[in-house]
C-alpha cells in the first residue's frame, strides 16, 4: 500500500492466488466482487437521479457529462482494449505467473527512484472499469446498490435489472364432485349411504364353522 505507482502494486488476483492465501485450500477464496462491464449508452435515469447526492449537479448535467465521456474517442479505445483482453484466454500457469510478476515488479521498483515515473504509471486511467472517471465510478456504485436493494425486496427472484417479478395467477377452487348415478323420481338419494362390504372367498366357510360351534355347544350335556 506504500507503493506510489499503482501498476507496481499487487492486484487482487495476485493476492488471492498467493500461496499464503491458498494454503490448505483447493483454490483462491471468493472475493464476492460484482461483475462489471464497460459502461455503455443508454444510461439508467434512476441511477443518474440517485447520483445527485454526490454534488455532481442536477441529473441533466450528470447525464450530459457521462454521455460526453462515454462517446469520447479515448473511452471507446479503452473499452475496446478491455474487451479484447477479456476475450484472450489466459495460459494455464497464469495464476502462478502472476505471483512471480508481483515480486519481479517489487524488486525492480526498489531500484528506481520516485522522481522517475514509469511508463506504466503514465497509462493510469486507461481502464474503463477502475478510476477512469469519477462519474463512471459513482455510477457503478449507485447501480450496484440499487441492484442489491431490488434483490433484497424480492429474495429468491431472478435478478434481472429493471424487471418486475412475475406473479402467478390465482386459481379458483374446483367445483363440487358429481356422481354418475341416475336419480329415479321418488327414490331417496343413496349417494351418501355407505356401501356394504363385498363378500370375499372364505366368508361362507367361516359362517358354517360358527354354526357348527353353536350346535356342538348346545348338544353337549351340562
In this structure, the dihedral spanned by the alpha carbons of residues 82, 40, 77 and 64, taken in order and rounded to 10 degrees, is -140
Most confident among 46-55, 82-91, 158-167, 203-212 (mean pLDDT): 46-55
The C-alpha atoms of residue 188 and residue 156 are separated, in whole angstroms, by 55
pLDDT digits (tens, 9 = 90+) for 71-109: 999 999 999 998 998 887 655 444 444 555 555 555 554
DSSP-H helix ranges across the chain: 12-16, 19-22, 45-50, 59-71, 73-87, 94-110, 119-122, 134-153, 203-219
pLDDT digits (tens, 9 = 90+) for 129-185: 888 999 999 999 999 999 999 999 887 665 555 444 455 566 676 776 666 555 556
Residue with cell 512471480: 100
Query: What pTM was estimated for this model as a whole?
Result: 0.53
Domain ranges of the chain: 6-89+119-151
What count of residues does the chain have? 222
Amino acid at each position: 500500500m506504500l507503493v506510489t505507482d499503482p501498476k507496481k502494486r499487487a492486484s487482487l488476483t495476485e493476492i488471492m492466488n498467493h500461496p499464503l492465501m491458498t494454503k490448505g485450500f483447493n483454490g483462491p477464496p471468493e472475493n464476492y466482487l460484482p461483475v462489471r462491464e464497460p459502461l455503455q449508452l443508454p444510461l439508467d435515469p434512476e441511477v443518474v437521479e440517485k447520483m445527485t447526492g454526490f454534488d455532481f449537479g442536477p441529473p441533466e448535467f450528470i447525464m450530459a457529462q457521462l454521455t460526453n465521456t462515454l462517446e469520447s474517442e479515448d473511452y471507446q479505445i479503452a473499452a475496446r482494449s478491455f474487451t479484447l483482453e477479456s476475450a484472450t484466454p489466459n495460459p494455464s500457469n497464469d495464476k502462478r505467473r502472476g505471483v512471480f510478476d508481483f515480486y519481479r515488479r517489487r524488486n525492480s521498483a526498489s531500484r528506481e527512484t520516485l522522481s522517475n515515473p514509469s511508463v506504466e504509471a503514465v497509462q493510469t486511467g486507461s481502464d474503463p472499469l477502475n478510476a477512469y472517471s469519477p462519474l463512471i465510478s459513482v455510477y457503478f456504485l449507485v447501480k450496484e446498490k440499487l441492484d442489491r436493494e431490488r434483490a433484497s425486496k424480492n429474495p429468491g427472484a431472478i435478478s434481472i435489472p429493471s424487471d418486475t417479478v412475475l406473479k402467478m395467477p390465482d386459481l379458483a377452487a374446483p367445483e363440487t364432485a358429481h356422481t354418475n348415478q341416475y336419480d329415479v323420481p321418488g327414490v331417496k338419494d343413496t349417494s351418501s349411504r355407505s356401501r356394504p362390504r363385498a363378500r370375499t372367498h372364505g366368508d361362507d366357510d367361516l359362517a358354517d364353522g360358527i354354526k357348527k360351534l353353536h350346535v356342538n355347544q348346545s348338544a353337549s350335556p351340562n
